[in-house]
Structure 1
Amino acid sequence: MSKRIFITATNTNIGKTYTSKLLIEAFVRLGLRVGVYKPIETGVITVAPDGNALFETALIHNPALKALSLNDIVTLQLQLPAAPFVANKGKSIDLAIFDTALAKIEALCDLVIIEGAGGLMVPIDSEIMMIDLARYFNATPLLVTHCNLGCINDTLLSIKALEEAKLPFVVGFNCRVEDTSFETTSLPYLKHRFGSIYRIDNDIDTIAKALLDTISS
């Protein structure tokens, strides 16, 4: 089995795909062959946009992935842009449906980046949440969080969920140009609480190494 990283977030539209693409390049710089997997994507009309973006980026650095198709990269594609439970009309999902696709990807890489959908507590069906998918895959989560006002609350709630699930994890803050108040409204407490934080744009190589260290520990 290859090393597995699970990209999750404090909510939707936080920057999981953006972060995943940067991580692909960071792991490549560390000498690893990287694969990508998006088990579930909602809001798919013709082509799964997030899965396709990941696949195209990974292909640049790992040509062996040409043996696969986008349908191998995104197993469950649902049209409604909503939580999988809603988009799939409440149907039960057997997580074993993801095993074959993941095995095909892992045969072509040293490490696979698995991108979730939405945040940790997004319902997949009536019994399973997105956080359960990370546990099922035995993958180390990277929690991507935002830098808007409210990021302290959102980040700490997601950290609590990961800790209660006994999942080792790394946290990265995706600060955007418009997040001008972060330095004064949120960063002082975050430094007080954690000492320092990782920023996706500046610290992606450090984040990649931290994830590998977390897997190895």
Structure 2
Amino acid sequence: MSKRIFISATNTDVGKTYTSKLLIAAFSRLGLRVGVYKPIETGVTALPVDGSTLFETARQYNPSLEVLDIHDIVTLQFPLPASPFVANEGKPIDLSSFDAALHKIEALCDILIIEGAGGLFVPIDDQHMMIDLPRYFNAVTFLISHCNLGCINDTLLSLHALDTHKLPYLWGLNCKDNDHGFKTTSLPYYQHRFQNFYRINRDIDAIAKALLDTIS
């Protein structure tokens, strides 16, 4: 089994795919063959956008993935851009349906990046939420938070959830160019509360190495 990392975020559109692409490059620089998997993608009208982006990026660094196709990378695809529970009309989803694709991809990689959908408490079906996937996949979680006003609350809630579920994780902030108020409205608290924290655009190589240490 390859080393597995589950990518999650404090909400949707926070930067999971962006961060996953950076991690693909960072792990590749460390000499590792990187695979990608997105178990569920909603809002799919033709091809899954996020899954296709991940697949294309990973193939640039790991050509052995060329034997796969996008349906190996994204197992469940739903047209409605909503939570899997809503997009699938509340029908049960058997998590074991992900196993075959997972093993197929892992035969071609040393480390596997698994990207979730939305935040940790996005409902998959009546029995499962996204936060259940890291344990099912036996993966370390990397949580991404934003730098807009409100990021403190969103970060702490998600970290509390991961701690409560006793899941191993690291986390980082995805600050964008237009997050002008972060230094004055949020950064002082992060500096007070945490001895160290990662900024994704600045620390991606350190994040990759720390994730490997956490998995080991």
TM-score, scaled relative to structure 1: 0.99
Name the amino acid aligned to 2:127.
Answer: E
Deviation at 1:197, TM superposition (A): 1.5
- CA deviations 1:48-100 (Å, max 9, x no partner) are 00000000000000000001000000000000000000000000000000000
Which residue number corresponds to residue 131 of structure 1? Answer: 131
Name the amino acid aligned to 1:16.
Answer: K
User: How many pairs align?
Assistant: 216
Which residue number corresponds to residue 94 of structure 2? Answer: 94
Which residue number corresponds to residue 29 of structure 1? Answer: 29
CA distance in 2, matches of 1:82, 1:135: 23
CA distance in 2, matches of 1:132, 1:155: 18
Which residue number corresponds to residue 198 of structure 2? Answer: 198
**Aligned-partner SS, 1:75:** strand
- CA deviations 1:164-204 (Å, max 9, x no partner) are 11111011100001100111111111011112220110000
CA distance in 2, matches of 1:10, 1:191: 19
- CA deviations 1:107-154 (Å, max 9, x no partner) are 000000000000000000011000001110011000000000110000
Correspondence 1:160 to 2:189: no
Name the amino acid aligned to 2:161.
Answer: A
Which residue number corresponds to residue 75 of structure 1? Answer: 75
TM-score, scaled relative to structure 2: 0.99
Which residue number corresponds to residue 104 of structure 1? Answer: 104
**Aligned-partner SS, 1:53:** helix
CA distance in 1, matches of 2:38, 2:101: 10
**Aligned-partner SS, 1:38:** strand
Deviation at 1:160, TM superposition (A): 0.4
Correspondence 1:63 to 2:52: no
Structure in which a larger fraction of residues adopt strand: 2
Name the amino acid aligned to 1:166.
Answer: K
Correspondence 1:215 to 2:215: yes
Name the amino acid aligned to 2:68.
Answer: L
Percent of aligned pairs with the same amino acid? 70
**Aligned-partner SS, 1:112:** strand
CA distance in 2, matches of 1:201, 1:102: 28
CA distance in 2, matches of 1:133, 1:6: 8
Hey, which bits of structure 1, 4+ residues long, moved more than 2 A? none
CA distance in 1, matches of 2:197, 2:106: 31
What are structure 2's unaligned runs of at least 5 residues? none
Name the amino acid aligned to 1:89.
Answer: E
**Aligned-partner SS, 2:119:** coil
Correspondence 1:121 to 2:128: no
CA distance in 2, matches of 1:165, 1:209: 24
Name the amino acid aligned to 1:48.
Answer: P
Name the amino acid aligned to 2:205.
Answer: D
Deviation at 1:23, TM superposition (A): 0.3
CA distance in 2, matches of 1:169, 1:7: 10
Which residue number corresponds to residue 43 of structure 2? Answer: 43
Which residue number corresponds to residue 140 of structure 2? Answer: 140
Name the amino acid aligned to 1:119.
Answer: G
**Aligned-partner SS, 1:118:** strand
